[in-house]
Amino acid sequence: MPNHATFMESSLTVLSPLTSPKQPREESTAAPVAQKPRASTKEHPLGATLLAGGKGVAFSVWAPNAETVSVVGEFNSWKAGAHPLERNENGTWSGIVSSAREGQEYRYALQRGEAKFTRVDPRAIKVTNSIGNGVVWAPQPRTAAPFKAPTLDRLIVYELHIGTFNAVAGEGPGTFASAIAKLPYLRDLGINAIEVMPIAEFAGDRSWGYNPAHPWAVETAYGGPEGFKAFVDAAHREGIAVILDVVYNHFGPGDLSLWQFDGWSENNLGGIYFYNDWRASTPWGESRPDYGRGEVRSYIRDNALMWLNLYGVDGLRWDATVYVRSCSGKPHDPGDALHDGWSLCQWLNNELRRARPGFITIAEDLRDDTWIVKDTGGGGAGFSAQWDGAFVHPVRASLLAAEDQQRDLNQVISALRCRYEDDAFRRVIYSESHDEVANGKARLPSEIDPSTTDSYPARKRSVLGAVLTFTAPGVPMLFQGQEFLEDGWFRDEVPVDWAKLGEHAGIHALYRDLVHLRLDRNRYSAGLCGQHLEINHVNHAQKILGYRRWSEGGAGDDVMIVINFSAQPVDNYTIGVPTGGTWCVRLNTDSTAYSGDFADQGPATTDAQPDPHDGYTHRIITVALAPYSALILSQNRC
């Protein structure tokens, strides 16, 4: 058991998945906080709740250290004290403003000592902008037809950034509406799940999204909560699940109304929503939420449930979970572990699945730790899957090596074989993501050939990354534009260049064919959705690798993949296969259908001979492999 097993067991004692959140620690000098934190006061939940029958709006906010709290807004000409809130025993303040109406802007006016200040409602679902006001907003009931996301073994993920996915250069960021226009394109590509980079309101109009200023509000520049609801419903109509990227490892740091929310703090740090000691420090500022305070835990839990219940998302991808479960990204160091963060992961994963069985949660942890996806009952964090650094890093290293002799097939083999909890689909695998194509790194074609990103080597070798992604055991993921050789690096102000779709229509067709093979659309590649992998052929001298994928085995199920990682073509190459009969080439990355300068080198069909090879009973001796190319073979069902 890993070194952090002790704190796992300890965290389950402090907070089992079925108990209430942990109470604040004794060392806090904050004003008294409720012993039993509640999500509602006087029958109204925290936040602004529009009352039926035109009876106004109920306001409720947690501010245990404030001396007075009132609500100000368009309904009282922003006059502090006009509508004071009543203090409750648990540190919340509540009241009803009968004159308030939907669509009106509001804030909370607080006083502590001599300090008087206003704050945006921490649970505001709609804001005017990151430095503006909250807006009273009553979501309409969802009317979309029920949607069931694919299971992990059938999931094809496409990561996109709303601000750049379908934007027009010089005309501001993209919106949910502009992204909706491209959903039929994704459906035709074969995508059945989109992973949306964070959309919580952030500072300014352009951002990657990993700087949430208002964690409950939807980015105004993208279209606000109305736009996101429409986007999720539109995706579901196209048969596409929506997985939303959320940021719970830190908040802000810019335009952060949560900061010293009620005027109290220690060490001049963040106040009631944050740690106020060394645990506050993250790579993004001193703004780590206090995972040990019951009200903050509930704030995050309710936020996660909001995305599920209000918008109907099918999953959440947690950003940088290693900074939730540890302070400095060293979770195996007992002194660095955050017990409260680990138990928060367990609690939320249990709560989300209790609310909707099968709900998908994905961790970006990148520490190759099986405990991330282990069930909470066994002490694990309980995530459905995790982004797999053990795949992307060796795959990219192998493809980017300048000389063929530098390519290490053992790295590729390691990437293919990695799994967690002995389950192939507990990992998300990819060769490009927003992290892998920025911060000093670029898209594969640009890394392979910076001077000519659509050169023969750039196209050929980047495509091998896709072949590995769609034929390896795991949940495959693409990053926006990858399927038509988008180049350069990811920037939040540079739109995806859709003109490249026309320029590289053949490469796009290759990706589409890979997706369809992965999903067994033609009923002859079921093994690509299976658990099983066998590396059957390794030729280090010629840089040729062969492996078998299968679920049940046999015709229509067994899939053989052969990849040439070298610039040198080979003819009449021999590989072993598990059964006799005719084997058909289902995809040849060297096909002229994918590019006019490819050579179609390789057979269309070939018969297996009853002669043992590569540990199998039969062999094929007519395989031809073009430079930097792959063949995918299978047999027709009987």
Spell out the domain ranges in the chain: 36-135, 152-253+293-518, 531-634
| SS3 call for 637 | coil
Q: Is the pLDDT assigned to residue 339 strictly greater than 70?
A: yes
Q: What is the pLDDT of residues 299-317, one digit of tens each?
A: 999 999 999 999 999 999 9
> What's the whole-number mean pLDDT along residues 520-527?
98
Q: How far is CA 43 from CA 46, 414, 581, in A?
A: 10, 55, 71
Q: 140 pLDDT band (50/70/90 cuts)?
A: confident
User: Angle 332-152-577 (CA atoms, 0-180°, nearest 5)?
Assistant: 100
Reported as type and span, the H/E element at residue 410 is: helix 409-417
Rounded to whole angstroms, the Cα distance separating 73 from 86 reads 17
Q: How many Cβ atoms sit within 10 Å of the Cβ of residue 439?
A: 9
DSSP assignment string, 20-85: PPPPPPTT--SSP--SS--SEETTEESEEEEPGGG--EEEEEE-TT-SEEEEEEGGGTT-TTSSBP
Tell me the β-bridge partners of 583.
Answer: 606
Q: What is the pLDDT of residues 221-241, one digit of tens each?
A: 999 999 999 999 999 999 999
Q: If you classify domain 531-634 with CATH, what class do you get? A: mainly beta
Tell me the β-bridge partners of 582.
Answer: 607
Q: 42 pLDDT band (50/70/90 cuts)?
A: low
Q: Do domains 152-253+293-518 and 531-634 have the same CATH topology?
A: no
Q: Is the pLDDT assigned to residue 36 strictly greater than 50?
A: no
Q: Is the pLDDT assigned to residue 16 strictly greater than 80?
A: no
562: left (phi over 0), alpha (psi -120 to 50) or beta: beta
- pLDDT value at residue 638: 78
| Higher local confidence (pLDDT), 17 or 447 | 447
Q: How many Cβ atoms sit within 10 Å of the Cβ of residue 79?
A: 12
Rounded to whole angstroms, the Cα distance separating 554 from 313 reads 37
Q: What is the pLDDT of residues 116-126, one digit of tens each?
A: 999 999 999 99
> What's the whole-number mean pLDDT along residues 452-460?
98
- CATH fold for domain 36-135: Immunoglobulin-like (2.60.40)
Q: What is the pLDDT of residues 169-216, one digit of tens each?
A: 999 999 999 999 999 999 999 999 999 999 999 999 999 999 999 999
> What's the whole-number mean pLDDT along residues 326-339?
91
Q: What is the pLDDT of residues 544-577, one digit of tens each?
A: 999 999 999 999 999 999 999 999 999 999 999 9
Q: What is the pLDDT of residues 398-445, one digit of tens each?
A: 999 999 999 999 999 999 999 999 999 999 999 999 999 999 999 999
For the chain, what percentages of helix, strand and coil (3-state, to nearest 5) are there?
25, 25, 50
Count Cα neighbours of 389 within 13 Å in the Cβ-side half-sphere.
11
- Per CATH, domain 152-253+293-518 is 3.20.20.80: yes
Give the torsion through C-alpha atoms of 507, 510, 514, 520, to 10 deg.
150
Q: Is the pLDDT assigned to residue 39 strictly greater than 50?
A: no
